[in-house]
Amino acid sequence: MLKVVLLDDEQGSLEELAGQLAGRAEVVARFGDPLAAVEQIRELRPEAVFLDIEMPGMNGFAVAHEVLNYAPGTGIVFITAHSDFAIKAFEIDAVDYIVKPFTAERLESALRRLERRLAAGDPQRVKRAVYNQLLQARQERILLWHGGRAVLVAASKIACCYVAKSRRGVEVAADNTIFQCSDTFAEFLAKVGKRRLVQCHRSCAVNPARITELKPDKNSTMTARVAGYDGEIPVSRRYGPALKRLIGLSKRPGPFNAADPVKRE
């Protein structure tokens, strides 16, 4: 019998789904809060997660992507109230979905397909399908980790991100706090959006709207300072010209300080 976790912000939907799964799957936990679900699914390690797509503050694609980052073999079944939702774009055998209100027959069909996918064992295909949907939904808040807790951080407040040498992971600075994320560097940049974070080094990216200082360094490199992060950020020769153009400084020599009365292009 499959061990599953349920996530839906509507209590009635949770109870209905749990009732219809009785005798067909073992419901090890139910959640109405996506952040609590992400934290505890990490420990519960269920075989599958049934989760709503549209929830306050965070959509189901972000939850599923996070779960698949640390448990890629987890089966995913989405629940939606909209039959014409973009989920139709999913690869047909990668991820399944059921539409509210759902019948026992449709739920049984979803379980059979889930069991086939788990037996086939192609987690990367599932992860790609979920990630592609996540990229289509512009997120205003990004799921990050701090002190072992899942936190939603406004994308506009992210100052920079970089690959941390000590832990081989990506760290994210916002409001002078360092968060961790479970994505690769490239995945995180794509998830946040190219206009919100711009790569300035092979292992660093900055929020151009938060740059307060950009000054020359040795060997035609630069360093940047951004609001919300105390340290200096390296800017390589490869990325420096594009960054200067982006913030309107391509024709201005010397260091830039946000306090200077300088017009950006």
Residue 196, helix vs strand vs coil: coil
For 262, phi and psi rounded to 5 degrees? -115, 135
Q: What is the pLDDT of residue 192?
A: 94
d(Cα 116, Cα 29) in Å, to the nearest integer? 23
Q: What is the pLDDT of residues 91-124, one digit of tens each?
A: 556 788 888 888 889 899 989 989 988 888 888 8
- Cα distance between the two ends of the chain: 63
Q: What is the pLDDT of residue 262?
A: 34
2-136 CATH pick, 3.30.2130.10, 3.40.50.2300, 2.60.40.10, 3.30.420.40: 3.40.50.2300
Q: What is the pLDDT of residue 91?
A: 56
Q: What is the topology classification, in CATH, of domain 141-257? A: OB fold (Dihydrolipoamide Acetyltransferase, E2P) (2.40.50)
Of 232, 221, 64, nearest in space to 137 by CA: 64
Of 178, 184, 152, nearest in space to 34 by CA: 152
d(Cα 25, Cα 80) in Å, to the nearest integer? 20
Instruction: Report the chain (265 residues): mean pLDDT per 10 consecutive residues.
Output: 94 92 94 94 92 88 93 90 62 75 89 88 86 84 94 96 86 97 94 92 95 89 95 94 80 49 36
Can you give the residue ranges of every domain in the chain? Answer: 2-136, 141-257
Q: What is the pLDDT of residue 264?
A: 39
Q: What is the pLDDT of residue 257?
A: 54
Look up the pTM and report it.
Answer: 0.85
